[in-house]
Structure 1
Amino acid sequence: MRDDASIASGHPGDVVKVLLLIAPDPELDPEAGERLARQLRSEIAELDVESIGPGPGGIVPDGAKGPDPLTLGAILVALSASGGVFTALFDTLRDWLGRSSARHRLVLTIDGDTIELERASAAERRDLVDAYIRRHTGD
Structure 2
Amino acid sequence: MRSDASTERSHANGVVDALLLVTSDPEVDPEASERLTRQLRAEIAELDVEAVGPGVIGTAPDGAKGADAVTLGAIVVVLSTSGGVFPLLVETVRDWLGRSSARHRVSLTIDGDTIELERASDTERRALVDAYIRRHTGG
Same structural fold, with TM-score higher than 0.5 when normalized by the shorter chain: yes
- Which letter maps to 1:35? R
RMSD between superposed Cα atoms in Å: 1.8
8 Å contact 1:79–1:86 — kept in the other structure? yes
- Which letter maps to 1:101? S
SS in 2 for 1:26: coil
Q: How many residues align?
A: 123
* Residue of structure 2 in register with 1:36 after alignment: 36
8 Å contact 1:48–1:85 — kept in the other structure? yes
What is the CA-CA distance between 1:70 and the residue it aligns to?
A: 4.8
* Residue of structure 2 in register with 1:8 after alignment: 10
Q: Does 1:47 align with 2:47?
A: yes
TM-score by length of 1: 0.81
- Which letter maps to 2:48? D
- Which letter maps to 2:97? L
* Residue of structure 2 in register with 1:62 after alignment: none
> Residues of 2 paired with 1:75 and 1:137: CA distance?
21
> Residues of 1 paired with 2:95 and 2:86: CA distance?
14
* Residue of structure 2 in register with 1:84 after alignment: 84
The gaps in structure 2 that reach 5 residues or longer are: 1-7, 60-67
More helix by share: 2
* Residue of structure 2 in register with 1:105 after alignment: 105
> Residues of 2 paired with 1:81 and 1:94: CA distance?
20
Q: 1:118 to 1:70 in 2, by over 3 A?
A: farther
> Residues of 1 paired with 2:31 and 2:44: CA distance?
20
* Residue of structure 1 in register with 2:114 after alignment: 114
> Residues of 2 paired with 1:35 and 1:131: CA distance?
30
* Residue of structure 2 in register with 1:58 after alignment: 58
- Which letter maps to 1:8? S
What is the CA-CA distance between 1:54 and the residue it aligns to?
A: 2.2
Q: Does 1:18 align with 2:10?
A: no
